[in-house]
Amino acid sequence: MSDTQYIGIFDSGLGGLTVAKSIIHTMPEENILYFGDTAHVPYGTKSHKQIRELAVNDVRFLSRFPLKAVVVACNTADSVAMGTLQEQFDLPIFGVIEPASHKAARTTRNNRIGIMATSATVRSGAYEKAIHRYNENAQVFQKACPLLVPLVENGRYRKDDPVVQIVLKEYLDELTANGIDTLVLGCTHYPLLSEAVQSIVPELTVISSSEAAADALKRGMKELGLCETEGDGIQHYYVSDDAEHFEENARVFLGEDMKATAELAQI
């Protein structure tokens, strides 16, 4: 592996595979090293201090391999730990919040933007701060949606699922009551819910942090002269627990056609 340079991607678990999927699609020539901290998922309900410590450990693990960049493919870790990671590691580090905020700030026509995210992300106020950097007139309405990650992890994300509909409606009602025209799915698991969200509120422009992140990564890496120009990238997957079940569970996030296995990380 030593001649190969990777884009190191990490998440609290498997949700960040939605980001990896977008990156593989957008930059198929890049080599990807994914680490899912499945021993400690979820991060979204943990304290900021603990999330920072876990994020530092995640990048430490990735740094055992030759990296050209790191992607924090977890909204929660990005919202809380990005500053710490940038201080501690001498690597280009990209996130998911900045790109999605930029896109939302430019997309809204009535300056009312909704954010659905984990409790820790909402508490950090990171989306609001980032959106105001690009559009100071925007009003940002956040909603912590703690039931959504467990739902998706249990395979419940399809738009015709009555449980998904009930839970989403409850969360969306509060946001739509504020007259939002743009909604950011500010969590790695939520892109899977995007069809269900659109079936409830078809008039909203829905922005997935996972897709926005891949586009921004490509732009950022190009600027730094880090992009591969040819070849087919390879992918390696590591998890901190339960590698046996990776293949089955990862398919939910990577897509049915992506066959991937993971190794257990010795951390």
Residues making contact with ligand DGL (CB under 6 A): 11-13, 15-16, 41-44, 74-76, 118, 121, 149, 187-189
| Minimum CB distance to ligand DGL, residue 39 (Å) | 12
| Minimum CB distance to ligand DGL, residue 11 (Å) | 5
Q: Are 205 and 107 in contact (CB under 8 A)?
A: yes
Residue closer to ligand DGL (CB basis): 42 or 99: 42
Residue closer to ligand DGL (CB basis): 30 or 37: 37
Q: What is the largest CA-CA distance in the chain?
A: 54
Q: Is residue 74 annotated as part of the catalytic site, yes or no?
A: yes
| Minimum CB distance to ligand DGL, residue 118 (Å) | 4
Q: Are 95 and 213 in contact (CB under 8 A)?
A: yes
Nearest CA to 69 out of 89, 36, 92 is that of 92
Q: Which of 19, 54, 72, 74 is catalytic?
A: 74
Residue closer to ligand DGL (CB basis): 30 or 58: 58
Identify any residues that bridge with 9 across adjacent strands, giving them in sequence order.
34, 71
Helix (H, G, I), strand (E, B) or coil at 40: coil
Q: Is residue 187 annotated as part of the catalytic site, yes or no?
A: yes
Q: How far apart are CA 251 and CA 14, in angstroms?
A: 10
218's enclosing H/E stretch is helix 209-223
Residue closer to ligand DGL (CB basis): 92 or 191: 191
| Minimum CB distance to ligand DGL, residue 44 (Å) | 3
Nearest CA to 36 out of 24, 19, 53 is that of 19
Q: Which of 187, 192, 193, 217 is catalytic?
A: 187
Q: Are 91 and 63 in contact (CB under 8 A)?
A: yes
Where in the sequence numbering do the catalytic residues fall?
Answer: 74, 187
